[in-house]
Chain A
Amino acid sequence: MTWLDVPAPWAMRLQDAASPNQEGIHELYDHIMFYLALVLGLVSYMTIVIVKDFTKNKFAHKQLRHGQTLEIIWTMFPALILLLMSFPSFILLYLSDEVLTPALTVKIVGLQWYWKYEYSDFVNKTGETLEYESYIMPDDMLEEGNTRLLDTDTSIVLPVDTHVRFIVTANDVMHSFAVPSLGIKIDATPGRLNQVSTLMERTGVFYGQCSELCGVNHALMPMKMQCVTMEDFLTYLSELSE
């Protein structure tokens, strides 16, 4: 099984979790896969039995036209399965939605076709909020080892083990801010502020891609997020505010 922070050749399934959100998604995925396997097993067993012994079997009888019990069973069973899947799903959904006590707020603005990051809690020496833009690295500027279509010139730098709130919006058309390793995907809509929060549990680099079709260069506006220690973060901030 391939678990990744970045997309990789032949990768399937979800990327490694770096936040409680994504851990919850992994758990829900496994949970639902259990019921999926159950249903797949049952349905294929019945199909094979009916096809193989089409005259004498437990499930099909040529003279059967109506069965009250059968109808009840095949209505209640799927309903029960759906119910069992929906409870953990809703619990996770509402937990992910919660923004409780963020220690830091970052404003993220989607534009055609780049992102703008604003550290709204901090100002530089001239009293303006810290903000910068982040563009994709074009193919002719890539340095050996860079990931094509994922690396950017600047990245969002955030401290580890800190509750961070993202306020997401857009300036022209709809975009979507998504970081799979953190289990985040939230629409960036012009004229609207959406908020989501995360708590990164390990340092590293996480990539994401715009997830709302926003024009010709929709594929060319990735986001790169670097999670660093608190000291490194403070150094980064002070360099930024020079």
Chain B
Amino acid sequence: MLRQTFARSIRFNSTVAKTAPRALSNAYVNQLEARWETLPQADQSALINDLKERMKISWGELTPAEKKAAYYISYGEWGPRAPLYSPGDKSKVFWGTMIGMFAGLVIFVGLKTFAGSKSVTMNREWHEKSDEYLKSQNANPFTGYSQVQ
């Protein structure tokens, strides 16, 4: 209580008190996030200056609308702090990836379908014959081995 009285008396006697005594109208600062980015440059800087002046008094005395506006200008999601993805983007990326993967699968299956027949060597009898020959040639004499797959 005493502190507030004290603060008021200081403000009354200071130069700042005379430049920003009145709260900015609600119509001026309300719902700023909805229209901030479409505001012309001149209006933006005027608003910033007005709020700057207002913020020279005790911040506790700002109206909720002013506080919100000031916070939004300094830390809100606009300009460099605009979110990387808008809400629709994530599903777009997801479905793009899905379509890409599906296309890959289609190409793979298509190639498999129209590909030539397997090589004549790709069967068990052939591999067993290979084993026989290579074993007769001492291939891997220490641990033995097999071509069969």
Residues of A at the B interface (CB closer than 8 Å) are 1-6, 8-10, 16, 139, 142, 144-148, 202-205, 226
Beta-carbon contact of A205 and B121 below 8 Å:
no
Q: Do the beta carbons of A6 and B125 come within 8 Å of each other?
A: no
Of A145, A202, A203, A204, most B-chain CB atoms within 10 Å: A145
Take A147-B130, A203-B138, A205-B137 as given contacts and tell me if A8 and B121 are in contact as well, using a CB distance cutoff of 8 Å. Answer: no
Known: A3-B140, A16-B140. Is A8-B120 also a contact (CB below 8 A)?
no
Contact present for A202 and B141 (CB under 8 Å): yes
Is B78 an interface position by the 8 A CB rule? no
Looking at A6, A144, A202, the one whose CB has the most chain B CB atoms below 10 A away is A144
Contact A8 B142, beta carbon cutoff 8 Å: no
Which residue of the partner chain, among B119, B126, B132, B140, contacts A4 with CB atoms under 8 Å? B140
B23 to chain A, nearest CB (A): 46
- CB neighbours of A8 from chain B (8 A): 145-147
The 9 listed contacts between A and B (C-beta, < 8 Å) are A2-B145, A4-B140, A9-B148, A139-B121, A142-B121, A146-B121, A147-B121, A148-B119, A204-B138
What A residues does B147 contact at CB under 8 A?
A: 6, 8-9, 147
A-B pairs under 8 A by CB, number = 62
Which residues in B have some Cβ–Cβ distance to A below 8 Å?
119-121, 125-126, 129-130, 132-134, 137-143, 145-149
Residue of A nearest to B129 (CB): A145
- Residues A5 and B119 in contact in the complex (CB < 8 Å), given A145-B129, A145-B132, A147-B130: no
Query: A144–B125 Cα gap in the complex (Å)?
Result: 8
- Bound form: Cα–Cα A62–B140 in Å: 56
**Which has the most chain A C-beta neighbours within 10 Å: B119, B132, B142, B147?**
B147
Report B-chain residues with C-beta under 8 Å of the C-beta of A205.
Answer: 134, 137-139
